[in-house]
Structure 1
Amino acid sequence: MTAWTIDTAHKRLLYHTLRVDTVLRDGTRGTGTAFVLAHTYARGRALFVVTNHHLVEDVASGALVFTMARAGQPLLRSRFELRIEDFADAWLPHPDASVDLAITPLQPMLDAAADQGVELYWQPIDSHEALTSHDAAALDALEDVLFVGYPSGVWDQVNGLPILRRGITATPPGLDFEGRREFLIDAAVYPGSSGSPVFIVGSTPVGAETLRFAGVVTAVFFREETRGLVPQPVPASHSPGGTNAEMIDLGLVVKAEEVCALADAYLSRWVA
């Protein structure tokens, strides 16, 4: 087991996400991405796991893969798979069924691991870092983006780390694409990218890179012979789209404000 110090923003990105491994009711296996959110509300701070609703519905069994820790530091080559009973029922979907997000509290997972003598390592995305409508309105039409996940199920299996990828905005993040709280990115989005957090990349006056949480990958555009260009949820399986569909590297991103709205909906429902 190897200790590794997390001392930069880009290293922290590697620990925002959790790998989601699922088996659907038809026996199909899938891979996706979830991430840890720290959300501040009137009574304190709550920790959640967030992903796409399409990734967790109709799932017969599922697990989240964490990095193990020692004395508060991550242990490379040491990961912990936490299987969740009644996986599909563990998640609260967004109150607007058209918003492809789902959420579940993190604390029961931490408790379950602790009961087995396991310490988990994770880095939350703070909801204070979420891009607001006001912030987004000040951005240009074209901005650099970075997203983190498990495209086509690819990851560093030995060290248990996700894949970092870059792209650009394909529609202005300050506008709602097709009237929905979404925007497009020009980036290679593949099966397994479902639930990947997306960050707008900026810079400080001295040239250091800054990251703002902008949203969650939810769908990818396919070119189909009979229907033209159509957006479809990023599939969890590794055989997406069928034989007559081709992904065109346009990803649909649900805006970060909808993630915060979902956290508030969970708290209003389950926390007195």
Structure 2
Amino acid sequence: MIEPLLLSAARVSTFDGTRLLTNASGFFFERDQRLFLVTSRHVMIDEPSDHCPNRLEIELHIDADNLTRSIGFSIPLYQGGKSQWRQGIDGSGEIDVALIELKREALPPSMVYRAFTPAHLQHSLEEVEVGTSLLIVGFPLGFHDSLHHMPVVRQAAIASSFGLRFQGEGYFLSDARTHRGTSGAPVVMRAPGTRNRVTGDLPWVLLGVHSARLDVGNRDLDIDEALGLNCTWYADILMTLSAS
């Protein structure tokens, strides 16, 4: 038996044609029978680093009885010269979250996955305390169980007030050891007992989308360790991005 949480995440590779560019993480989100892949916006495009892929590729399980079987599924990022993903913006600027709809008719009928839904989102900011234990499900540096094509999980904790947008931005801080390739990973906490009846066999609350490590510009690289803090964008932006 495989834990359903591990089937919610997908390994993301970015390409320019056939040239591999970067590795990242993503996860599935379902709303009104529509299925989306969610990741960080900077995975789709990042102008400062001149990162401009024209397609993504995700790895999909295709056999529930044999998880060693998988295929690569290509997702074009542009059609007719227009970008196909959705990204958000608020009064403080761009939000580092993006999603792109997956065409169900193009997906393999035997695809094995789990998807978060609006029922998995946390709507009350006051109910989540600082220090709450979290999990980040992703593919740090592209690392994963390459036989069964499964992500790995890092332990984390909420490091800022969940009820306050950190420095006015649309994210909170998490305390966790993360690496490149984790961008776009779901950040979750265990659902309380009353929520389990709603979230079914995926008893987790989706709090946010991991974006990047946070550091300070005046840190002495020879003396001071990295902060170990990360930006996690609030997951409620998915309701805006996935609206019809």
Band of TM-score, shorter chain: 0.7 to 0.9
Return the alpha-carbon distance in structure 1 between the equivalents of residues 226 and 238 of structure 2: 26
What residue is the counterpart of 1:100 in the other structure? 96
For residues 140 and 34 of structure 2, the distance between their equivalents in structure 1, rounded to whole angstroms, comes to 29
Report the AA paired with residue 214 of structure 1. Answer: L
For residues 67 and 248 of structure 1, the distance between their equivalents in structure 2, rounded to whole angstroms, comes to: 36
Q: Unaligned stretches of 5+ in structure 2?
A: 46-51, 195-202
Change (3 A) 1:142 1:18: same
* Runs of 4+ with >6 A deviation: none
User: What is the Cα deviation at residue 180 of structure 1?
Assistant: 2.0
Instruction: Kindly provide the CA deviation profile for residues 71-127 of structure 1, in whole angstroms up to 9, marking residues without a partner as x.
Output: xx3531111101233469331222545111111112x1x42244xxx6211100111
1:203 CA drift (Å): 5.0
User: Per the alignment, do residues 74 and 178 of structure 1 end up closer, same or farther by CA in structure 2, a change over 3 Å counting?
Assistant: farther
- Of 50, 75, 92 in structure 2, the residue corresponding to residue 84 of structure 1 is 75
1:46 aligns with 2:34: yes
Asked if 1:249 is matched to 2:228, the reply is yes
Q: Is the partner of 1:228 in helix, strand or coil? A: coil
| Paired residue secondary structure (1:120) | coil
Task: Note if contact 2:187-2:210 (Cα within 8 Å) is conserved in structure 1.
Answer: yes
Shift of 1:211: 2.6
Structure 1 distance, partners of 2:225, 2:158, is 21
| SS class of match (2:184) | coil
Shift of 1:49: 1.2
RMSD (Å), alpha carbons: 2.6
Letter in 1 for 2:26: A
Normalising by structure 1, what TM-score? 0.73
Paired amino acid for 1:99: I
| Alignment correspondent of 1:162 | 151
Structure showing the higher strand proportion among its residues = 1
1:8-47 alignment runs, 5 A limit: 11-23=3-15, 29-39=21-31, 44-47=32-35
- Report how far residue 246 of structure 1 moved: 7.4
Alpha-carbon separation, structure 1, partners of 2:101 and 2:166: 30
Query: Counterparts of 1:112-123 in structure 2 under 5 Å?
Result: 112-114=106-108, 119-123=110-114
Q: How many pairs does the alignment contain?
A: 221
Which of residues 126, 129, 132 is equivalent to 1:143? 132
Determine what percentage of the aligned residue pairs are the same residue.
22
Q: Distance in 2 between matches of 1:252 and 1:86?
A: 25
Partner-residue secondary structure (3-state), 1:171: coil
Amino acid at match of 1:18: A
CA contact (8 A) 2:54 2:76 kept: no
Provide the C-alpha distance between the structure 1 equivalents of 2:22 and 2:234, rounded to a whole number of angstroms: 24
Residue 261 (structure 1) shift: 1.7
Determine helix, strand or coil for the equivalent of 2:167.
helix
Amino acid at match of 1:90: Q
Where in structure 1 are there 5+ consecutive unaligned residues? 230-244, 268-272
Distance in structure 1 (CA, Å) of the matches to 2:170 and 2:34: 24
1:196 is aligned, of 159, 170, 185, to: 185
Query: Is residue 262 from structure 1 mapped to residue 241 from structure 2 by the alignment?
Result: yes
1:182 is the counterpart of 2:174: no
Q: Tell me the TM-score normalised to structure 2 length.
A: 0.81
- How far the C-alpha of 1:38 sits from its partner, in A, is 1.4
User: Would the aligned equivalents of 1:67 and 1:74 in 2 still touch at CA under 8 Å?
Assistant: no
Kindly state the Cα deviation for residue 202 of structure 1 after the two structures are TM-superposed. 5.7
Question: Per-residue deviation at 1:188?
Answer: 1.0
- Looking at structure 2, the residues matched to 152 and 251 of structure 1 have their Cα atoms a distance apart, in angstroms, of 16
Q: Tell me, yes or no, if structure 1 residue 214 matches structure 2 residue 204.
A: no
